[in-house]
């Protein structure tokens, strides 16, 4: 109780009570209809009076000062059907005991679209929704991680397991070649900035979504089709993720406390690095194969050292914990939600971790019967201890596992860490020393404030004005110690950065509801929105510390450098929306948006986007209403035009920039520019059906096709221009696929419930038009040396030389080439081999999730299995780890190099090792391309809801304990892949920190 | 109250809807300026020329990759692969995705974009503007020469021997997808650009960290030597030797000058100040025994030096890894000293002009004069004097004097010699790359081939 009192003080509230002269009281209990147990947390409400009350610990409610009259009283409780009854109030006390029935169906009744909510029945678009319950218990650093497998048509991958790193989200495939393909995020009605704010591309990314506490989220809706995304106009093509955070709710104040603690490990171990003995063998063989038999008989190996670099650079059972405390309640005038949270996660790789402090306060107040004010404030602070990621950096602890041969030890004979380049056998720095002594730290502070004013101008005309500000401050510190590592030449160095991003949105909405008669209803909205973003980036660095333990530039005695840059962008739009309903069975939606964006030249800045949608609920027709087994059937279709403006700031302008040569300022060519740069556009068609039969089977199937044109293409230029590419609106492609969802309540009664759900998505992507060069020939685009954009192929088609194995006669690498007669033959000359399409791209063509949940009395178990098929992934760094000797003694190998050619007749996977390399055997080819098909048990959740009867005595309303396992099991279909099949959307295995497997125990109580 | 509130809100709404004036959507351009207004005066023109130098001093070009590769792709040096760098060049093993070929192709053409921006700037003639444009012309000749010597088919047999490189003279206009010009045309344009540049430049401007009048003439002797136009080499070299004021550095000063920022007899060098030094990617870090330290000198080059030759002191000879079979590792430590890359990198030194002169003399049968010239260098290095002015002796003195500065590969291939493994540690593909091999021209990068259908690939690459 003391705690409760303290909390009440912390979350101080304003209550206002209105008294009436002639009044009475309604009182009663609220209980479960079947068990008779009191329902703590239930709430009664009289709509016409805007008056409500919650129940006390005995399940009793009291509504006093009710003016004499007859009212409709409703009672609500999560998981139960809404109760509604007429009640007549005199001057005395009326008793109304309420018995509520469990709601066994529990379908989402409304759809959150970002511009408001709409009945699911009336909605003509296609969305996927994720509720707070499925987010709350999942401990993730960044909420987007929790969405994987829960929404059809959405591919979410994490390229790294470093806590807080950005996720790749691809909704319905890649709708662009060169422009951005990430969705728009809308939080509480306003578009927000997203992505990585880190100044260094070399170290771990830190997404600003990591600032959001997943416990504060009420729901996430992913908008996919034109009808739902066109209102976001130019930013809608890649889909929209609408996040609604929790706000106050009328009722007795409910306090919630949750705690979780868990342990992280690597989800997939990855390939085995070569043992010292194998490394030694390969060395001797490679040298003798290059310089003649017997040239050497041993390597630099001492014959003893066999260091498992993977083992010493990882942290087994890395701890993660999260604690949140919230209070939620209110009355008819004022509602509030307040929360505080702490999240802490250690990465699996030494030197990576994340912690977050967050707080939210949301309050709404009804000023009078016409005006309502709501303000939502969040503040958060995230600190990430990152690492140099990707294998390109000698400072990366992940690189160490493979790059440092096992023949070297990190320790001197006396057990201390090696800290001198000449004492360490390889050019890579001893990762144990650098992780202990260097700093790679990012801190994001984010404050958002969202103020909303609703004014009921007339009964059916409302004005909503919203002003939201979002301030993100990112500071980073990169410090290299003076003794050993990247900073040893300059006596240590430090690089401090500071990025400030300020974003505001001002949105005004005029809403008008027109119901001419009982058959027709119209809902109009006119919205104006302006958004502007300012960013300033400032950094300084310094070199030369006199002592250890100094980390700031002011302590440096050597050279110092500094820089500052600023940039801004703005978007402005005017949107009109209309919903029309006929007899609650036929629905039409329309939207039109006129939008301007500062990223385009003056004449091409504004664009018009639109959509139409139609929905027809067949079960509302008399001839179907008689079918008992058919509960619900709806067909819907939408078509519209959306845009994509994800190009860099100032891309349309031809500019020069400024550098320095020999301490004198100079001018350099910068951007070729293109004054006619404008929107990338997409026409989307969506046709779907939704159904529910036998009261227990529900689902839907949607077909979509999105034709993108005027693609924002980095049209490759001849490099003789001094530029690699020019941004142009050229090219066409389409994405199409089917999304299906099925949900079966196999058994649903009070003590035993079993639900199975599945979703499936297919995706096809094809380029139909490409730019042409001055000779009228199609320019094929090699974005990287492994991809190619070609007519008739997917956007990122894997296109490379095709590995034909190892020649048993001599151990040479073989590739395919055209034989000139329409067939193929093999060659050992890399420069003669031809390039072929590898029948895949990095995005899966078939993917989805299967989930099931079983509730037995108060116990439940649920699982989510994610599956993904049809893509291929590329091992970038096998260039080194499968080098067949090219890098002499410098680096390590995979243990699988054991299977190599040694003598004529050997059927081997890997060619003959040769000191200096075997004829480019390790260069780009399908030798390093693997099938990406996999299954993964994303979550396994076991829980127990403590029955209310045990809780009443200790003052709790509800309590639950649970166990959650994430990524507990992974199966990759390609045996040769070896690594975690979940890679970034670009399809590269980049030796980033591996995705995590975690087990978490949690407890949650409401009181 | 309510009325007031309502009308205020209505006003706000109207205001919100009309903020849509064009200014709101006009983006700031804070770190750059529009190209069309970039060069209002001669000072800006001069800054654009400096910008070309800024591009040239990158790690991918003069800052490391170009000079180092020209040595590693020869019998002077090899890569031990310690940090995985310069291995493909060391093996003379190129593919259409070779990082080195891409870096050279993109990098030098990027320099040209700045030079053409300067040359085509619409400014009235003035001494300052003329000088800057003269500098740009001379650099444009040099850059095209570096491209032609690496990508042209002049040293390859079996292909289309006339294939040169696109000679680019405009920026952001004209044909953005040019074809390869014939080698003869490229040379003729190079010669024109040198001549134009020299005619425009002010001979009194003598800052050697930028292209200057005498440096342009010195580079002209290199261009004519490459073209085997010996008469021109002789006449221009004599002009430089007699009139430039430069002379050969004495043996006493030679090593000490290398130890400083500059180099002996430097006529034009890329400057590396605190703000543009190459840091970890310096030549010194690759040449010296550091945690990179990939590039070692062959025992043949080291052992060519007489013990009294002051140039031998520029090398280190140590057994770096007693466990391996190699008795001594040789390294160039004296020409590029500072690991952080503060050493200026010579583009042309006076001694090269003397060597170009000597080679032209020897090639035209004037061996007696050639002997005088190479002995003038040998004498100033305390090296044994030559007894004949044979072309072989000129080549030997050239190898010793310009060692590890980025000449050896071109000197071998332009004179039709093979490139042989001369050191047991070298791993040149096949042991020897014979004269005329397709590997003596770099592949046109795949990205260029994909973007530009007018481009023809060099023979031997697919």
- Here the ipTM equals 0.90
For residue A346, pLDDT over 90 is answered with no
Longest dimension (CA), chain B: 110
Confidence of residue A107 (pLDDT cuts 50, 70, 90): very low
Q: What is the pLDDT of residue B223?
A: 98
Q: What is the pLDDT of residue B382?
A: 97
Q: What is the pLDDT of residue B416?
A: 95
C-beta atoms of A723 and B93 within 8 A: no
Q: What is the pLDDT of residue A626?
A: 80
Q: Cβ of A852 under 8 Å from any chain B Cβ?
A: no
Q: Cβ of B124 under 8 Å from any chain A Cβ?
A: no
The most confident of A408-422, A450-464, B205-219, by mean pLDDT: B205-219
Q: Give the residue-averaged pLDDT of A88-115.
A: 73
Q: What is the pLDDT of residue A135?
A: 67
Q: What is the mean pLDDT of chain A?
A: 85
Per the CB < 8 A criterion, the answer to whether B309 and B365 are in contact is no
Confidence of residue A2 (pLDDT cuts 50, 70, 90): very low
The most confident of A70-84, A224-238, B14-28, B193-207, by mean pLDDT: B193-207
Q: How far is CA A868 from the centre of its chain?
A: 17
For residue A730, pLDDT over 90 is answered with no
Confidence of residue A932 (pLDDT cuts 50, 70, 90): very high
Q: Cβ of B15 under 8 Å from any chain A Cβ?
A: no
Q: Regarding predicted confidence, which is higher, A218 or A1001?
A: A1001
pLDDT tens for A153-191 read: 777 766 566 777 777 777 776 767 666 778 888 888 888
Q: Give the residue-averaged pLDDT of A376-382.
A: 91
Name the least confident of A79-88, A780-789, B272-281, B316-325. Answer: A780-789
Confidence of residue A148 (pLDDT cuts 50, 70, 90): low
For residue A19, pLDDT over 60 is answered with no
> Cα dist. A255→A218, A258, A1005, B211, B227 in Å?
16, 10, 8, 75, 87
Q: Regarding predicted confidence, which is higher, A673 or B64?
A: B64
Q: Tell which of B177, B451, B462 to mutate to test the A interface (max A CBs under 10 Å).
A: B451
Q: Tell which of A453, A661, A790 to mutate to test the B interface (max B CBs under 10 Å).
A: A661
pLDDT tens for A509-551 read: 999 999 888 889 999 999 999 999 999 999 999 999 999 999 9
C-beta atoms of B172 and A672 within 8 A: yes
Q: Regarding predicted confidence, which is higher, A64 or A201?
A: A64
Name the least confident of A95-99, A494-498, A609-613, A817-821. Answer: A95-99
pLDDT tens for A900-913 read: 999 999 999 999 99
Q: Tell me the nearest-neighbour CA distance from A542 into chain B, angstroms.
A: 12
Q: What is the pLDDT of residue A412?
A: 92
Q: Cβ of A108 under 8 Å from any chain B Cβ?
A: no
Q: Cβ of A780 under 8 Å from any chain B Cβ?
A: yes
In chain A, whose CA is at the least distance from the CA of B94? A831
Q: Cβ of A784 under 8 Å from any chain B Cβ?
A: no
pLDDT tens for A562-607 read: 999 999 999 999 999 999 999 888 999 899 999 999 988 888 889 8
Residues 346-385 of B with CB under 8 A from A: none
Which segments in chain B show pLDDT lower than 50? 1, 20
In chain A, % of residues over pLDDT 70: 91
Q: What is the pLDDT of residue A395?
A: 67
Q: What is the pLDDT of residue A140?
A: 67
C-beta atoms of A572 and B448 within 8 A: no
Q: Tell which of B6, B11, B16 to mutate to test the A interface (max A CBs under 10 Å).
A: B16
- Token pair in block for residue B430: 């096949």
Q: Tell me the nearest-neighbour CA distance from A728 into chain B, angstroms.
A: 14
Name the least confident of A84-88, A809-813, B62-66. Answer: A84-88
The most confident of A375-379, A641-645, A861-865, A875-879, by mean pLDDT: A375-379
Q: What is the pLDDT of residue A374?
A: 94
Q: What 8-state DSSP symbol labels residue A281?
A: H
For residue A33, pLDDT over 90 is answered with no
Q: Tell which of A426, A532, A668, A670 to mutate to test the B interface (max B CBs under 10 Å).
A: A668
Strands A520-543 and A493-514: antiparallel
Q: Cβ of B207 under 8 Å from any chain A Cβ?
A: no
Between chain A and chain B, the number of residue pairs with CB atoms below 8 A apart is 283
Task: Pick B323's closest partner by Cβ from A300, A599, A831.
Answer: A300
Q: What is the pLDDT of residue A12?
A: 35
C-beta atoms of A664 and B96 within 8 A: no
Q: Regarding predicted confidence, which is higher, A179 or A870?
A: A870
Task: Pick A596's closest partner by Cβ from B25, B51, B81.
Answer: B25
Q: Give the residue-averaged pLDDT of A947-955.
A: 78
C-beta atoms of B51 and A669 within 8 A: yes
Q: Regarding predicted confidence, which is higher, B181 or A133?
A: B181
Q: What is the pLDDT of residue A737?
A: 92
Q: What is the pLDDT of residue A15?
A: 34
The most confident of A225-229, A667-671, A917-921, B219-223, by mean pLDDT: B219-223
Q: What is the pLDDT of residue A124?
A: 74
For residue A400, pLDDT over 60 is answered with yes
Confidence of residue A16 (pLDDT cuts 50, 70, 90): very low
Task: Pick B451's closest partner by Cβ from A567, A673, A773.
Answer: A773
Q: Cβ of B323 under 8 Å from any chain A Cβ?
A: yes
C-beta atoms of B6 and A455 within 8 A: yes
Q: Give the residue-averaged pLDDT of A44-67.
A: 81
Task: Pick B47's closest partner by Cβ from A510, A666, A670.
Answer: A666
Q: Give the residue-averaged pLDDT of A799-814.
A: 95
The model's pTM: 0.82
C-beta atoms of B44 and A780 within 8 A: no
Q: What is the pLDDT of residue B8?
A: 56
pLDDT tens for A768-778 read: 988 887 777 88
Confidence of residue A857 (pLDDT cuts 50, 70, 90): confident
- Chain B residues within 8 A of A780 when measuring between CB atoms: 450
**Secondary structure of chain B as H, E, C letters:** CHHHHHHHHHHHHHHHHHCCCHHHHCCCCCCEEEHHHCCCCHHHHHHHHHHHHHHHCCCCCCCCHHHHHHHHCCCCEEECCCCCCCHHHHHCCCCCCCHHHHHHHHHHHHHHHHHHHHHCCCCCCCHHHHHHHHHHHHHHHHHHHHHHHHHCCCCECCCCCCECCCCCCCCCCCCCCCCCCEHHHHHHHHHHHHHHHHHHCCCCCCCCCCCCHHHHHHHHHHHHHHCCCHHHHHHHHHHHHHHCCCCCCCHHHHHHHHHCCCCCCEEEEECCCCCCCCHHHCHHHHHCCCCCCCEEECHHHHHHCCCCCHHHHHEEEECCCCCCCCCCEEEECCCCCCCCCCCCEEEEEHHHHHHHHHHHHHHCCCHHHHHHHHHHHHHCCCCCCCCCCCHHHHHHHHHHHCCCCCCHHHHHHHCCCCEECCCCCCCCCCCEECCECHHHCCCCCHHHHHHCCCCCCCCCCC
């Amino acid at each position: 109780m003391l705690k409760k009192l303290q909390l009440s003080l912390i979350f101080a509230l304003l209550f206002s009570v209105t008294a009436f002269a002639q009044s009475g009281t309604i009182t009663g209990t609220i209980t479960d209809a079947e068990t008779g147990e009191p329902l703590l947390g239930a709430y009664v409400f009289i709509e016409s009076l805007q008056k409500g009350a919650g129940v006390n610990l005995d399940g009793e409610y009291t509504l006093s000062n009710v003016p004499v009259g007859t009212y409709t009283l409703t009672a609500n409780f999560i998981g139960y059907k809404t109760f509604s009854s007429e009640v007549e109030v005199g001057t005395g006390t009326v008793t109304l005991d309420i018995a509520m029935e469990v709601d066994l169906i529990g379908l989402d009744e409304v759809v959150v679209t970002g511009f408001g909510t709409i009945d699911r029945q009336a909605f003509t678009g296609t969305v996927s929704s994720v509720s707070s319950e499925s987010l709350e218990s999942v401990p993730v650093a960044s909420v987007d991680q929790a969405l994987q497998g829960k929404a059809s048509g959405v591919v979410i991958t994490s390229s790294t397991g470093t806590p807080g790193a950005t996720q790749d989200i691809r909704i319905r495939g890649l709708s662009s070649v060169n422009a951005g393909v990430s969705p728009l995020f809308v939080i509480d009605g306003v578009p927000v900035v997203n992505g990585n704010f880190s100044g260094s591309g070399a170290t771990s990314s830190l997404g600003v979504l990591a600032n959001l506490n997943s416990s504060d989220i009420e729901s996430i809706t992913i908008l996919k089709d034109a009808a739902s995304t066109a209102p976001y106009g130019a930013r809608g093509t890649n889909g929209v993720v609408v996040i609604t955070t929790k706000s106050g709710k009328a009722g007795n104040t409910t306090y919630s406390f949750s705690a979780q603690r868990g342990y992280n490990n690597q989800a997939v171990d990855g390939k085995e690095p070569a043992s010292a003995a194998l490394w030694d063998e390969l060395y001797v063989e490679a040298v003798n194969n290059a310089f003649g038999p017997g040239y050497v008989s041993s390597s630099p190996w001492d014959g003893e050292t066999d260091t498992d670099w993977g083992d010493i650079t990882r942290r087994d059972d890395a701890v993660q914990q999260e604690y949140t405390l919230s209070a939620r309640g209110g009355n008819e005038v004022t509602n509030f939600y307040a929360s505080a949270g702490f999240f802490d996660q250690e990465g699996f790789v030494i030197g990576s971790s994340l912690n977050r402090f967050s707080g939210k306060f949301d309050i709404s107040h009804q000023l009078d019967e016409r005006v309502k004010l709501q303000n939502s404030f969040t503040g958060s602070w995230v600190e990430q201890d990152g690492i140099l990621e990707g294998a390109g950096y000698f400072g990366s602890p992940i690189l160490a596992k493979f790059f440092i041969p096992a023949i070297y030890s990190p320790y001197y004979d006396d057990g201390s860490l090696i800290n001198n380049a000449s004492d360490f056998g390889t050019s890579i720095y001893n990762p144990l020393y650098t992780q202990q002594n260097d700093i790679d730290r990012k801190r994001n502070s984010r404050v958002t404030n969202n103020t909303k004013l609703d004014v009921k101008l007339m009964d059916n005309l409302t004005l909503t004005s919203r002003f939201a500000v979002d301030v993100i401050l990112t500071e980073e510190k990169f410090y290299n110690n003076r003794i050993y590592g990247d900073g040893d030449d300059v006596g240590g160095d430090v690089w401090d950065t500071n990025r400030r991003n300020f974003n505001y949105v001002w949105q005004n909405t005029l809403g008008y509801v027109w119901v001419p008669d009982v058959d027709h209803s119209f809902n109009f909205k006119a919205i104006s929105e302006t958004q502007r973003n300012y960013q300033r980036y400032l950094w300084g660095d310094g070199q030369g510390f006199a002592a250890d333990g100094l980390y700031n530039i002011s302590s440096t005695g050597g050279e110092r450098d500094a820089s500052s840059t600023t940039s801004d962008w703005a978007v402005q739009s005017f949107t009109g929306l209309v919903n029309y309903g006929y007899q609650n069975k036929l629905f039409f939606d329309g939207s039109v948006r006129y939008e301007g964006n500062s990223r385009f030249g003056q004449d091409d800045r504004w664009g018009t986007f639109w959509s139409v949608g139609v929905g027809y609920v067949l079960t509302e027709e008399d001839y179907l209403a008689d079918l008992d087994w058919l509960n619900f059937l709806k067909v819907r279709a939408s078509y519209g035009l959306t845009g994509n403006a994800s190009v860099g700031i100032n891309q349309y302008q031809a500019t020069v920039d400024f550098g320095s040569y020999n301490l004198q300022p100079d001018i350099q060519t910068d951007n070729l520019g293109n004054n006619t740069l404008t929107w990338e556009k997409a026409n989307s068609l969506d046709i779907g059906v939704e159904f529910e039969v036998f009261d227990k089977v529900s689902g839907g199937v949607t077909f979509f096709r999105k034709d993108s044109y005027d693609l924002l293409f980095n049209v490759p230029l001849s490099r003789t221009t001094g530029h690699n590419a020019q941004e142009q609106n050229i090219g066409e492609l389409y994405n199409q696929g089917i999304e299906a969802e099925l949900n079966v309540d196999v058994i649903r009664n009070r003590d035993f419930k079993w639900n199975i759900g599945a979703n499936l998505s297919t995706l096809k992507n094809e380029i139909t038009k490409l730019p042409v060069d001055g000779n009228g020939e199609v320019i094929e685009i090699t974005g990287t040396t492994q991809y190619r954009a070609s007519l008739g192929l997917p956007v990122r088609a894997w296109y490379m030389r095709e590995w034909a194995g190892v020649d048993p006669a001599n151990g040479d690498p073989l590739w395919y080439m055209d034989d000139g007669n329409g067939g193929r033959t093999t060659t050992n000359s890399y420069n003669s081999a031809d390039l072929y399409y590898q029948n895949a791209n990095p995005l899966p063509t078939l993917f989805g999730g299967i989930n099931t949940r079983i509730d037995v009395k108060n116990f439940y178990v649920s699982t989510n299995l994610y599956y993904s098929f049809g893509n291929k992934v590329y091992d970038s760094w096998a260039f080194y780890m499968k080098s067949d000797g090219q890098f002499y003694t410098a680096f390590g190998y995979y243990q699988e190099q054991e299977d190599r050619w040694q003598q004529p007749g050997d059927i081997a996977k890997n060619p003959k090792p040769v000191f200096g390399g075997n004829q480019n055997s390790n260069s780009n080819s399908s030798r390093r391309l693997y099938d990406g098909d996999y299954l993964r048990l994303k979550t396994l959740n076991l829980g127990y809801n403590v029955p209310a009867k045990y809780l009443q005595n200790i003052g709790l309303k509800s309590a639950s304990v649970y166990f959650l396992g994430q990524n507990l099991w992974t199966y990759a279909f390609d045996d040769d892949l070896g690594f975690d099949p979940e890679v970034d959307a670009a399809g590269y295995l980049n030796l980033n920190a591996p995705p995590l497997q975690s087990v978490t125990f949690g407890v949650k109580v409401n009181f | 109250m309510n009325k007031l509130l309502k009308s205020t809100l209505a006003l706000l709404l109207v205001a919100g809807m009309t903020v849509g004036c064009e200014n709101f959507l006009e983006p700031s351009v804070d770190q750059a300026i529009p190209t069309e207004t970039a060069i209002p005066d001669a000072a800006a023109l001069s800054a654009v020329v400096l910008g070309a130098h800024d591009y040239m001093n990158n790690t991918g070009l003069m800052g490391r990759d170009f000079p180092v590769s020209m040595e590693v792709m020869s019998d002077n040096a090899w890569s031990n692969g310690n940090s995985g760098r310069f291995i493909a060049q060391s093996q003379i093993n190129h593919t259409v995705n070779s990082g080195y070929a891409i870096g050279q192709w993109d990098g030098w053409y990027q320099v040209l974009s700045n030079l053409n921006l300067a040359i085509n700037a619409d400014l009235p003639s003035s001494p300052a503007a003329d000088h800057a444009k003269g500098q740009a012309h001379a650099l444009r000749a040099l850059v095209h020469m570096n491209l032609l010597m690496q990508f042209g088919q002049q040293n390859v047999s079996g292909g289309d021997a006339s294939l040169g490189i696109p000679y680019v003279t405009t920026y952001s206009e004209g044909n953005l997808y040019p074809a390869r010009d014939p080698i003869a045309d490229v040379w003729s344009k190079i010669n024109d650009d040198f001549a134009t540049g020299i005619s425009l430049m002010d001979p009194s401007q003598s800052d050697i960290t930028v292209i200057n009048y005498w440096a342009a003439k010195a580079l002209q002797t290199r261009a004519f030597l490459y073209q085997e136009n010996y008469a021109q080499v002789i006449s221009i070299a004599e002009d430089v030797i007699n009139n430039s004021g430069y002379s050969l550095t004495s043996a006493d000063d030679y090593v000490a000058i290398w130890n400083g920022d500059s180099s002996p007899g430097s006529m034009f060098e890329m400057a590396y100040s605190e703000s543009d030094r190459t840091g970890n990617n310096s030549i010194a870090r690759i040449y010296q025994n550091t945690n990179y330290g990939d590039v070692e000198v062959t025992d043949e080059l080291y052992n060519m030096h007489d013990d009294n030759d002051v140039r031998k002191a520029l090398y280190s000879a140590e057994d770096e890894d007693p466990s391996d079979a190699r008795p001594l590792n040789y390294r160039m430590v004296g020409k590029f000293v500072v690991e952080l890359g503060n050493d200026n990198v010579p583009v042309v030194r006076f001694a090269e002009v003397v060597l170009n002169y000597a080679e032209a003399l020897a090639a035209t049968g004037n061996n007696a004069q050639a002997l005088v010239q190479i002995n003038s260098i040998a004498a100033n290095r305390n090296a044994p004097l030559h007894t004949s002015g044979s072309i072989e002796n000129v080549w030997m003195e050239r190898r010793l004097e310009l060692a590890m500065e980025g000449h050896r590969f071109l000197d071998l291939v332009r004179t039709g010699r093979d490139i042989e493994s001369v050191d047991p540690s070298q791993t040149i593909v096949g042991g020897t790359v014979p004269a005329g091999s397709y590997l003596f021209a770099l592949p046109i990068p795949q990205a260029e081939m994909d973007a530009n259908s007018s481009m023809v690939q060099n023979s031997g690459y697919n």
